[in-house]
Chain A
Amino acid sequence: MKYLLSFFLTGAMLFRGETKAQVREEAKAQTPEKRPNIVLILADDMGFSDMGMFGSEIRTPNLDSLAQSGVRFTNFYTCASSSPTRSMLLTGQDTHINGLGAMDEWTAPAQMGKEGYEGNLRTSLVTLPQLLKDAGYHTYMVGKWHLGKAPDKIPAARGFERDFTLLDGMGSYWDMTNMTALNHTSVFTEDGKYLTKLPKNYYATKTYTDKLISFIDKNHGDGKPFFAYVCHQAPHDPYHLPKDWRNRHVGEYDKGWDIVRQERLKKQKEFGIIPENTQLAERMWFVPDYSILAPATRAVLGRKMELYAGLIENMDYHIGRLIDHLKEIGEYENTIFIVFGDNGAEGNDLGAMIGGTPGTLNYLYFATKWSNTDLNAWGEPHSYVGYGPGWAQVSMTPFSQYKGWMAEGGIHNALVVSGPINKLPKGSINHGTMFVTDIMPTLLEVAGANYPETFNGKAQPKLTGKSWLPVLNGQAASPRTDEDYIAMEVFGNRALRQGDWKIRWEIKPIGKSDWELFNLAQDPGERNDLAAQYPDKLKEMLILWDKYVQENNVILPDRTLFETLEDQLPARVPVQDGYPPLNYIRQFIPPADMMAKPKKIKNN
């Protein structure tokens, strides 16, 4: 409320014709506290367990320091894919309302031309940065946008005062090389202008941080708080990282995903991130038991995880630079940090999906632009490395599946909130159910800004998210009641959570092409489908799903990214430790005192 009051007072003084400087001085005198700065860090495809304070062996001291001084939220949800999550974050609206009912790369015929399925952020909706800017915040963005490239859809048009932005969803970290023959060049903007080239010595994570620091410094001292939307490309594939960061874990992952998952699970239990009785999700059936793999295969696959770890550590280093800078200029104590990944870790092989079919244009393009395949070249420009489903499940420990899917591994993310809005003890862990659409109402409340009924003459849909401030103030354990639910759909995969219960529908063979029911409190790894056991509960939740569909104009896709997956993957079988025994039976060694040489045969 005090922020709101300050905002109105400032507006009133300006109306009286006083200079901005006078207003600032008077505001300073009258406002005991400056409104907090907000730094929202989005790590692209970072998994639930990839930060040290969420159980990882990856060294993330700076992210950990935020967690230690703030709160870790263990039941935070995003959408299962990138731009849908970003759209919810920036509008507070469901994807089927805000234009990301389908990603523009995968819009199905049934969805084309339909409102809410534009594949980019609808311009009729107001955005969080727009409202924060109107409320007196400087608004900065660096990093990946993925919400539209046309002039009316770029960050400068959607409320960001300063930006240095990759408009595409992915691409090289080193240059403007993009992913397909027809979309070969990444498009960047800086302060609303499309860039013809990148700055010298460009490296995504570093340059984004440098730019943000320069934005902050430029306006520092004018008395206005800032909102910084830091959308790191890291750790999205391709894993491009500077040489110094590539060899910090050599050989450490040769032990394999099963062991690393166990190690992370143990830490998570020690930290209190997950209940003591949590069982790891089943390893995906097409991901082999690492122990049966040859040393060379372990080394090559392990190398991918080494790079991923280095990529996150490099990102953490640059986040540390930002933190240090804010401390240097005296802004750190008054800055809210919100950190999370935009969806589950990436287990799909995007490189193979795009450029893996000989005889296609994209294959030719990959041969030209993405064929730096030698192991020692991994991390260099034109190399393409993604770590695949085995390691993605590690990143999503203890959950099942990964990005694109509606098991917890696709949508359940680590969330850290720190800074002056947190009144809970430092290092707290909260298990309340949070959703990415909550960020808009939370930050509007922090900034003392109102959500308008109309924007540019267009009526605005109501916000459906819940402010986190009651939780951060210690007044509530969760922003949601037992009746509240969250739901989402992308690529035809669907999920809805209410309390401890969750239903999900996923296309075969990852899912059953049918609804499944899980009790997440008892089974966070989603090992046991309870649909047959609790048909009434399923029915009850399907009613909520139908409500969600109606309220949000959900049009299910008639074609999807995964429609041929059943033909590509081996037949689904249960994964049970130690089966088949053939793989694990070791050489029999008889007792030494019972061993003998063969006896000679007479006359032979």
Chain B
Amino acid sequence: MNSSETIGRIPNRSKKRNQIKRTFGLLAPGVLLLLVFFITPMVLTVIFSFTNLSLTGDAAANLKFVGFQNFVTMFKDPELANSIWKTIIFVVFSAVIGQCFFGFLIALLMRGKNKTFRRVVGLIIIAAWVTPEVVVSFCWVAFLSDGGTLNKILVSLLNIKPIAWLYSFPMISVVIANIWRGTAFSMMVFQTALDDIPAEIEEAAVIDGASRWQITTRITIPMVRGTIATNIMLVTLQTLGVFTLIYTMTGGGPGNATSTLPVFMYKQAFVSYQLGYGTAISLVLLVIGAVASLLYMKVLKVKV
């Protein structure tokens, strides 16, 4: 009996060992890629944020550890507070309110509509999303410029002087452009969620005499609550890092009216030649992103 047990165990053990080997073998390439392209740059960022790394001048030749100096400068700099504030405005209005709200509204309105109609409308909205960011911002700059389409229409209809939108209303301009570009993502997410709601439930509500509004607020929204929360989190994180759109539309200006954290970071690193300081700012951006996701996970109970 004893012997039969040991005989039975040996192949079992070696099988397990093999399985472990196999698991590691299969994971190795992924881990390697993560190490090279994800972990290393992150570690380097943390290290460089404590140095005076610079693009030019003495500091470019002689890298020195400067302790927390970058962080001290940053928290003393009123531009940081301004950038955080601008980032919050940009994220709240263009992502949380803009993209999620319009994405949901469009998805809701398109529900149960004729297939061809859905396809045409969907394609148009997705077109904005698949267009490269630079192209989108160029379109918006052209649309909002002094001699642009919007001003041409306003001037001919209202007979007013052309408005320099990008300079008079810079934040509103980039927010609208970002809503225009990003709504498709939320729309698609919500469409799939809404399609999963069994028709019977709403039919039952209709029979019970519920109004359209009541069905939406009492049944539809609660049923896709999880999706809404996940979507808000995804969109927030995407929008926190938006750089190209803002930089190419306004350059963070005029003054620093649209200088969000990524723009602020870029300016410090590549315009003021202070790479070390720039990386320190990127760490703050990272922390904000992490805090935001934790908050969402806690408050909205997003399942990860």
Physical interaction between A and B: no
